[in-house]
Chains A and B, each alone.
Chain A
Amino acid sequence: MIEFSTWDILRNLIFAARWTVLLSLVSFAGGGVVGLMILFARISKSKALRRFAIGYIELFQGTPLLMQLFLAFFGLGLLGVDVPAWLAAGSALILWSAAFLAEIWRGCVEAVAKGQWEASASLGMGRLQQLRYVILPQALRVAVPPTVGFSVQVIKGTALTSIIGFTELSKAGTIVTNATFQPFTVYGLVALIYFALCWPLSRYAHSLERKLHVAHRGH
């Protein structure tokens, strides 16, 4: 029987971890873009758009990410569309992140004082101008810490994509375990790598939050 050193295991896991990082980046960036659109719909003046956004957010927040991944992968497959695992994983995670980010950002927009809307309106600004020049710049500052914090959820969320066969860190862990029969060592290392990715981000989010509190009205 072949002997695997811990280094062999770690090397393979780190190799697979780049897919976790890449998938996280794509999901976070894509989720940000879609989330911004959902946010605009959510705070729009049109009732239909608001309804749509609320429905979207409730749907994606109210169902497990795993089910969303299954539906994206197997559901579309049933319709005869052959979806590769990376595409199903990427799109499901983007749509899921978008729902959460839109909801986080909505709270930040609503945290901007009502007087800011009124003052900018009384100066003749249209709604988009108010958002762009007055509301969003103020909301953005509040939004950064919870947004960075949410990126941790995205990274951990990517672990679920292993179930539809996308070979990222968790899936690699399973594969390596099957070859080495050392589940404790392997999954221990997998967890450590996730931790190494997530921990700096949560610390960063915390420090941003603290900075924001201190320089609450800073520039």
Chain B
Amino acid sequence: MSLIAVTELKKRFGANEVLKGINLDIMPGEVIAIIGKSGSGKSTFLRCINGLETVDEGSILVAGAQLLPDEVHLKALRLKVGMIFQQFNLFPHLSAGRNVMLSQMVVKKTGKAQAEAMARRQLERVGLAHKFDAYPDELSGGQQQRVAIARALAMEPIALLCDEITSALDPELVAEVLAVVRELAAEGMTLMMVTHEMKFARDVCSRVVFMHEGRVHEVGPPEEVFSAPKTVELQRFLGHGHA
């Protein structure tokens, strides 16, 4: 059974229809790269799955549960699906460790000692155990993003959504974040990532989704999508054809 099932998803901003009926099923353990031009709706699509955008039509099922826009259902959904953002969005008034502890204690009502143990474990996992007491502004962009990943992982989600998580990083910091993601993929975490890192998508992802003008335009395993794109739009996007 698919872990995330998206059916005929539509989203409008005013008169502008950004998502025009998306269908996509994601199996547990899949690593999906979503690629496409800016404005093709990829980020909006990802944000819909986590309830950060309301859905106009269609349905999203996560582990069999319907996404509904009330606070109870949203909370249940967000406990299953974590999200990492382009701008990291760490809480600047809390140390790295506290960032990872906060939602465990507040949302899951985990005890402090247990939350701290989990925070140390997750920071260790992203290679930042020694930064437990550092504040976000004392960390590099790559380190901040890794703390953000640890923060999401501490909630023990069954899937992780990554919205251009390396786009705000200096080039030399991209690798350390991608290494963490690669490891998560190897551990079997279900991942959906909007990305511009084509090489990474080719190496790590099980399927690549190409979005164009609010629709899933082409989808398939990376070797197919990158080596033998079927549609003109994807060929152009990949720079094969010359428009």
Contact = CB atoms under 8 A, between A and B. Distances in A.
B65 interface: no
Given A116-B89, A116-B91, A217-B137, A122 B102 contact: no
Given A133-B102, A138-B92, A125 B85 contact: no
Interface residues of A, number: 21
A126 interface: yes
A129 B102 CA distance: 10
B103 A125 contact: yes
Interface string A203-219: 00000000000000101
Given A127-B71, A133-B102, A133-B106, A122 B78 contact: yes
A27 B106 CA distance: 34
A61 B71 CA distance: 34
Contacts of A141: 93
B82 A122 contact: yes
Contacts of B51: 121
B200 interface: no
Interface in A127-150: 127, 129, 133-134, 137-138, 141
A80 interface: no
A123 B93 contact: no
B112 interface: no
Contact of A115 (B87, B108, B137, B155): B87
A115 B75 CA distance: 18
Given A124-B107, A125-B107, A137 B93 contact: yes
Nearest to B71: A126
Interface in B44-80: 50-52, 71, 74-75, 78-79
A124 B78 contact: yes
B139 to A, nearest CB: 12
A124 B103 contact: yes
Nearest to A137: B93
A183 B197 CA distance: 79
Given A125-B107, A126-B71, A126-B75, A118 B52 contact: yes
B151 interface: yes
6 contacts: A115-B87, A122-B83, A123-B152, A124-B107, A125-B107, A129-B107
Query: Closest 4 interchain pairs by CB?
Result: A119-B89, A123-B103, A115-B89, A122-B83
